[in-house]
Amino acid sequence: MKLRFWGVRGSIASPGRKTLEFGGNTPCLELRFGLKNRLIIIDAGTGIHPLGNHLVWSGLQNGPINTDIFITHTHWDHIIGFPFFRPIYISGTKLRVYGPITFEEDTLEKIMSDLLRYRYFPVLHGELTADIEYHQLAECKMDLGDGITLKTKYLNHPLLCLGYRFEFEDKVLCTAYDTEPFRNIFSTDVNALDYDPITSSNGEEAAREGNQRLLNFYRDADILIHDCQYTKQEYFSSKKGWGHSFVEHAIDSALEANVKKVILFHHDPLRTDKELLELEKYCQAHFSNRSDLEIMVAKEGMEIVL
């Protein structure tokens, strides 16, 4: 299994001098499997634009593009690059797009095709020449063929968002973005006016179970790509409930789930290269002696072979 990061930034693309090294594109991950070099893409953030160009310029001699795109959720930063994915304009391209939907009743096809309406874009979805199928996902286990198994799990984000776990030839890659720790949002202070013992204990248990469910999902992964948008200080001072994690949570989860390598991902758009390099140093200084866990900070263009 091979991975290549085409976009590692969260929320909004952030090009500029201060993000040159780690990159400013929003999430897009290219996965390659086995001798057939089977291509699977996770998310269609702005990073899917350079990936699409790369596929068209380098890959068409091997025949038309035939691939699966797994959308983690339909927030802008994870889908906005879709209209700019060059293969959708090439006849013969076959795309299967998978993803969870919102609590509204719109289908995944409706949500994605709405990106290509005249009010937003000069081409209509119906005018695309590629053959595109849409599949709505919930928590499930799927056989993707070629020996690849996919498992999905809901994460903790303000919109239904799926983590993906790919298993192939004894190797496991797991994604956990966008997510934050589950927590009991109900009062546990018996003296508080809004304290209710039943709600409080249900909340405690739901949060504990939610976190445990995710640890089980990451269990023994070779690579866990984890949301790390905030610092701990940022998270606890003003970002609780925004659906993103902080470094200590990502690393503790990886340690508890016996993960081999954790890749910190979905960087805040304001996080500069300098700050991300400091983050890398901080991780090495604070966590390297706690276990064999390898910690990396995701960088655009980074390639990993599993």
Partner 1 sequence: MLDRYIRQLPPFPATVSKAMEICCDSNTSPTDLTKVISLDPVLTGKIMQLVNSAYFGLSREIISLARAIIMLGMNTVKNLVLGVTVLSAFGRHKDFQALNMDMFWKHSLGVGVIAKMIAKKRSINNRLIEGYFVSGLLHDIGKIPLNSKFSVEYMSIMELPGKEPQPLYISEKQHLGIDHTHVGHLIAEKWRLGAEISDAITYHHTPETYQGAQNDILFTVILSDYFANSSEIGFSGNRILKDIWPEVMRYLGTSTDLSIADVSEFNGEVAQEIEKAQIFLKVAG
Quick one: 14 or 74, whose CB is closer to partner 1?
74
Residues between 86 and 115 with contacts to partner 1, criterion CB under 8 A: 100, 103-104
Find the binder of partner 1 among 202, 216, 233, 238 (CB under 8 A): 202
Quick one: 4 or 183, whose CB is closer to partner 1?
183
Binding segment toward partner 1, per CB under 8 A, in 11-19, 22-30, 83-91, 189-197: 189-197
Quick one: 102 or 288, whose CB is closer to partner 1?
102
Residues between 211 and 250 with contacts to partner 1, criterion CB under 8 A: 241, 243
Give least dist CB 284 to partner 1, A.
Answer: 33
Q: Where are the alpha helices (DSSP H) in 182-240?
A: 197-218, 232-234
- Do residues 10 and 306 make contact, with C-beta atoms less than 8 angstroms apart? no
Give least dist CB 195 to partner 1, A.
Answer: 9
Find the binder of partner 1 among 197, 285, 289, 292 (CB under 8 A): 197
Binding flag, residue 124, partner 1 (CB under 8 A):
no
Find the binder of partner 1 among 184, 222, 260, 280 (CB under 8 A): 184
Give least dist CB 232 to partner 1, A.
Answer: 21
Structure tokens at 217: 């999902």
In one-letter notation, the amino acid at residue 54 is: H
Query: What's the CA gap between 229 and 208, in Å, rounded?
Result: 22
Quick one: 83 or 243, whose CB is closer to partner 1?
243
Q: How far is CA 293 from the centre of its chain?
A: 20
Query: What's the CA gap between 14 and 9, in Å, rounded?
Result: 7
Find the binder of partner 1 among 205, 220, 278, 303 (CB under 8 A): 205
Binding flag, residue 196, partner 1 (CB under 8 A):
yes
Find the binder of partner 1 among 90, 206, 255, 302 (CB under 8 A): 206
Task: Tell me the torsion sign for CA atoms 182, 232, 103, 167.
Answer: negative
Do you know the residue count of the chain? 306
At residue 162's C-alpha, the angle toward residues 157 and 168, to 5°, is: 145
Binding flag, residue 118, partner 1 (CB under 8 A):
no
Give the SS3 label for residue 189.
coil
- Do residues 155 and 179 make contact, with C-beta atoms less than 8 angstroms apart? yes
Give least dist CB 189 to partner 1, A.
Answer: 12
- Do residues 93 and 64 make contact, with C-beta atoms less than 8 angstroms apart? yes
Residues between 144 and 173 with contacts to partner 1, criterion CB under 8 A: 154, 156-160
Quick one: 52 or 99, whose CB is closer to partner 1?
99
Quick one: 3 or 162, whose CB is closer to partner 1?
162
Contacts of 153-158 spanning 24+ positions with Cβ under 8 A? 153/213, 153/214, 153/217, 154/100, 155/72, 155/179, 155/214, 156/180, 156/181, 156/182, 156/210, 156/214, 156/243, 157/73, 157/243, 158/241, 158/242, 158/243
Give least dist CB 113 to partner 1, A.
Answer: 21
Residues that bind partner 1 (CB under 8 A): 100, 103-104, 138-140, 154, 156-160, 182-187, 194, 196-203, 205-207, 210, 241, 243
